[in-house]
Amino acid sequence: RDKSCLYQKNQFLGLVIWNYFVQTVSSSVTSFLNERYLLQKSRFPREVIPLAIVSANYFLFLISLIILIVSTVSIGYGVPNLIILLISILWLGIFTGSLSLLLSVLQIRFRDISYLTQSSLGLLYYFTPIIYDLKMIPIRYHLVYYFNPLTSIVEYMRLALVKDGIVPVGMVTANLLITILVLAGS
Question: What's the predicted TM-score (pTM) here?
Answer: 0.89
pLDDT of 57-79, one tens digit each?
A: 999 999 999 998 888 888 777 78
Report the alpha-carbon distance of residue 141 to residue 79 in Å, rounded: 33
pLDDT in tens, 9-33: 778 888 999 999 999 999 999 888 8
Q: What are phi and psi of 180, to 5 degrees?
A: -65, -40
Q: Note the pLDDT of residue 168.
A: 80
- Rg for the chain, CA atoms, rounded: 17
The answer, yes or no, to whether residue 44 has pLDDT greater than 60, is yes
Contact, 107 vs 113, CB < 8 A?
A: yes
pLDDT beyond 60 at 1: no
Task: Give the model's pLDDT for residue 23.
Answer: 95
